[in-house]
Amino acid sequence: MPVVAETIIGIRALIAEEKARLVDAGTMSPRVAFVATMGALHAGHMALVKRARKRGEIVVVSIFVNPTQFSPTEDLSRYPRDLAADLATLEGSGTTFVFAPTPEEIYPHATTDTVVSAGRVGGLFEGRTRAGHFDGVLTVVAKLANIIRPDVMVFGQKDAQQAFLVNRMLSDLNFPISLEVVPTVREDDGLALSSRNRFLDERERRAAIVLSHMLEAAGSAADLGIDAVIAAAQSVSMGEPLVTVDYFGVVNPATFLPVDDDYRGPATAIVAARVGATRLIDNEGIYLA
């Protein structure tokens, strides 16, 4: 079972002690790899931990449901929390330490007046639907990066906009941290793994596969241009009454801005939809020829 720290002082002390132990054992400049999570761990998170284990001698996983990235109308209280189950999932994974702070430890004044702005991209797509969401994400990631001081951070491709914005923040603010992005882990039928999948009933679970089918249709139409891509995705979604699409878009992965009609090259198709009462997101790389 990984060693758990609940305080900033505690996790910093554990990392310092482990670095000293590794140096004494002959490891020069041991590296720290960090995976930030909100718990409710599943196989997608474990893929991040596996990559982290390859990138660092010390692997730190945080479990923290960050309140500042939830709006008043969102499901903060509903978000699943089971630290014991998460620790059991991490057992044998190669995780060295788990940082599981309380909200009061991260935000001792209930919130923070100093925030990291996600800028223009932070107001698009997920940011348009969830106002202030990415400011909350980037602020807590910056705080966690300063607490853990890792050499590498590992994020998942499923949250493509988040990964883009974190990478841009690390570059813009000169964090000495590299970012690894791990491909989306999917169920056998293609549904992207998500902590929110547990909220789907049997009918909704069958309907949710429409998101990945939309992305498949988009990829199949990519050689016909952006209009064909959008039409192909929309035609798939119209066949499932339990799914209400929030947005479908195609962005340039270098900027995360919508591509122009004449764009050619690698692109990312992104989708968000509500399946019953549960909101899901997904994305897939395509190539516009």
Residues marked active site are found at 45
Give yes or no for a contact between 58 and 32, defined as CB atoms under 8 angstroms apart: yes
Coil, strand or helix at 37: strand
Question: Residue 132 burial (CB < 10 Å; 0-12/13-18/19+)?
Answer: middle
DSSP annotation of 71 reads -
CA pair distance 287, 139, nearest whole angstrom: 33
Coil, strand or helix at 44: helix
CA pair distance 108, 63, nearest whole angstrom: 17
DSSP annotation of 195 reads G
CA pair distance 162, 136, nearest whole angstrom: 11
Give yes or no for a contact between 177 and 20, defined as CB atoms under 8 angstroms apart: no
Q: What angle do CA 161, 101, 194 make, to 5 degrees?
A: 35
Going by C-beta distance under 8 Å and a sequence separation of 6 or more, which residues neighbour residue 134?
69, 118, 121, 122, 126, 127, 161, 162, 165
Coil, strand or helix at 62: strand
